[in-house]
Amino acid sequence: MPPAAYCDPQSINCDELAYTREAIYQLLPQAHEMAMLDGIPLCDEENQIFAAFRDIRDDEWWCRGHMPSKAIFPGVLMIESAAQLCSFSQKMLYKDCKDVMGFGAINDGKFRDSVFPPNRVILIAKVTDPRLRCYTCGVQAFVGGRMAFECSIRGINLNLG
């Protein structure tokens, strides 16, 4: 049985964005195919809960080769999406920090459901350890209100120059 959601994914309105895709990637260094987030509809700095979404299309670069008979959104890209949401949340809590949170570790990762295109994945992150140099978030991913993935992401502070 999945754990309780950090917040109700059905209550997240992806039509009202706190940050657009363009605004997200002015803060994060990922680009092109590695820009995983399409929008940030929830940015609750006080409660340290952040939500993003990713629209999974059936013409994405990985669809042709990842389970070609019925494409499945790769788990490693779900993890990357979760890590980018965590990195974004760090930017919100440490606005003056010029460094970027890099992927340091994943703990307690569980895939609970497959994600087939086309679909929208809602990612919800709750900051569990806000230390700048060892930043940790729990992340849950939902499709159609069902939890598809959960994990804890620990980031390390990168100095990309």
pLDDT, tens digit (0-9, with 9 covering 90-100), for 64-94: 888 878 999 999 999 999 999 999 999 999 9
**Residues 51, 72: contact at Cβ < 8 Å?**
no
Distance CA 134, CA 85 (A): 15
Determine the Cα–Cα distance for residues 55 and 118; give it in Å rounded to an integer.
7
- CATH 3.10.129.10 corresponds to the domain 11-158: yes
DSSP 33: G
Q: Domain-by-domain residue ranges, the chain?
A: 11-158
> In terms of pLDDT, which residue wins out, 68 or 107?
107
- 11's CB contacts (< 8 A; 6+ apart) are none
Q: What integer pLDDT is reported at residue 161 of this predicted model?
A: 63
Please give the full DSSP string across 44-56, using - where no structure is assigned.
ETTTTEEEEEEEE
